[in-house]
Amino acid sequence: MEDKGLFGKILAIVPGLAVMIGTLYVLRVYVEPWMKDAVVFGSKGWLVQVLSLNYILLSILTGMFYRNILFGGKIPAWAEEGFRTTRLFIKTGVIMLGSLYTFDKLLKVGGVAITLIVAFVFGTAIFVLWLGKRLGADRSVTATMAAACGVCGVSAAVATAPGVRAKPVDLALSIATILGFGIMTMFVSPFVGKMLSLSDYQFGAWVGTGILNSGQVLATCLAFNPNFAPGTAVAYGEIWNVVRVICIPFVVFFITAWYWKGEADAEHVSLGSILASKFPIFVLGFIGMTALSSLHIIGAEGSETLHLMRDVMAWVFGIGLVGLGAYIDVREIKAAGGKPLRIGLIAGVTKYVLAMIIILAFIPKEGAF
């Protein structure tokens, strides 16, 4: 492979990154304001208020348009390196989200979040392990789907696959299922949330518990309420998200141990090695940012610094979400099928609906901050 050197590597990022930034600029400066004023079905701003088509969902949709229509199904070589920065933007955004909290605020909702997430993550994983057996699915397919449906979708599938010897075809079908289900819930949830008049707290808790992919949790919360501030949907949803992300290594360990228990050539798995290799380090950045916020180092609520930071956060997420959209290939999702699809649909819908019932029954409208 050709070695481009540091300067060459940076240069290779520019075209794709310019497309992502330019796209967000056009969406935020021209398209979203136009949509807010546009009259549809006799109602001003219908597109934004009813369909939640703010710059967040538009970013994802535009990314999908690039990949599936403009680029003909494949990110072109000239844009590939730039679009690869998507992960960096979203991780940076999540770290910055830590500034929305202080530790005392986290403690107020942390207990509820931990209880709900742990119950749903392990409950879903155990349900899928049972369902896979009932449907006669291969053990590696069942294990991959248990991780993907239980905790963080595609990321959990990626983390679990090597440990459970997932086969490429099964893994591809599992990922397509998870992605397809997540995209559907991402567009449906804001509409349902508004229809049921959910508060930001309830909405954040619901999608944080019920949506499979953590990236889609963020996007859905921002589609419901695009503001970055304490007490908004994204502020609550992200607490759920972070608890989920921390759960990944434990879920991978649980499922890998289950898998090897049923195999003749059992391998030893240790929680320590899984924690070392699978723990998402950026969560520490998020906690660090919360520490800075708790110590009032980045300014009090309403300060210029925080205002600027939240504006930057909106841009960082928006750019990342254009990229995330460009990684969604509709044709690949349409190819989903077989047992992964059946398991994913049953587990996904059950989790989504059950989470809604629990939120409506036990989570008050008033948030803790």
Q: Is 278 in the site for another protein (CB under 8 A)?
A: yes
Between residue 291 and residue 320, which ones bind another protein under the rule CB under 8 A?
320
Distance CA 150, CA 211 (A): 10
Cβ atoms of 324 and 60 within 8 Å: the answer is yes
Q: Is 36 in the site for another protein (CB under 8 A)?
A: no
DSSP state of 20: H
Q: Is 179 in the site for another protein (CB under 8 A)?
A: yes
Q: Which is nearer to another protein, 121 or 328 (CB)?
A: 328
Paired tokens of 61: 């949709």
Among the residue ranges 5-13, 73-81, 304-312, 343-351, the one whose residues contact another protein (CB under 8 A) = 73-81
Q: Is 152 in the site for another protein (CB under 8 A)?
A: yes
61 CB-near residues (< 8 Å, 6+ apart)? 325
Q: Quick one: which of 133, 167, 296, 307 contacts another protein (CB under 8 A)? A: 167
Q: How far apart are the first and last CA of the chain?
A: 52
Q: Is 91 in the site for another protein (CB under 8 A)?
A: yes
* Count, residues near another protein per rule CB under 8 A: 47
Distance CA 18, CA 10 (A): 12
Task: Assign 3-class secondary structure to 128-143.
Answer: HHHHHHHCCCCHHHHH
Q: Which is nearer to another protein, 102 or 185 (CB)?
A: 185
Cβ atoms of 18 and 82 within 8 Å: the answer is yes
- Picking from 47, 35, 66, the residue whose alpha carbon sits closest to that of residue 326 is 66
Q: Quick one: which of 70, 196, 276, 357 contacts another protein (CB under 8 A)? A: 276
Cβ atoms of 317 and 93 within 8 Å: the answer is yes
Paired tokens of 196: 């049921």
Q: What angle do CA 23, 24, 30 make, to 5 degrees?
A: 90
Q: Is 324 in the site for another protein (CB under 8 A)?
A: yes
Q: Is 162 in the site for another protein (CB under 8 A)?
A: yes
Q: How far is the CB of 242 from another protein (least distance, A)?
A: 10
Q: Is 245 in the site for another protein (CB under 8 A)?
A: yes
Q: Is 5 in the site for another protein (CB under 8 A)?
A: no
Binding site for another protein (CB under 8 A): 73-75, 80, 83-84, 86-87, 90-91, 94, 152-155, 157-159, 161-162, 167-169, 172-173, 175-176, 179, 213-215, 245, 276-282, 320, 324, 326-328, 331-332, 335
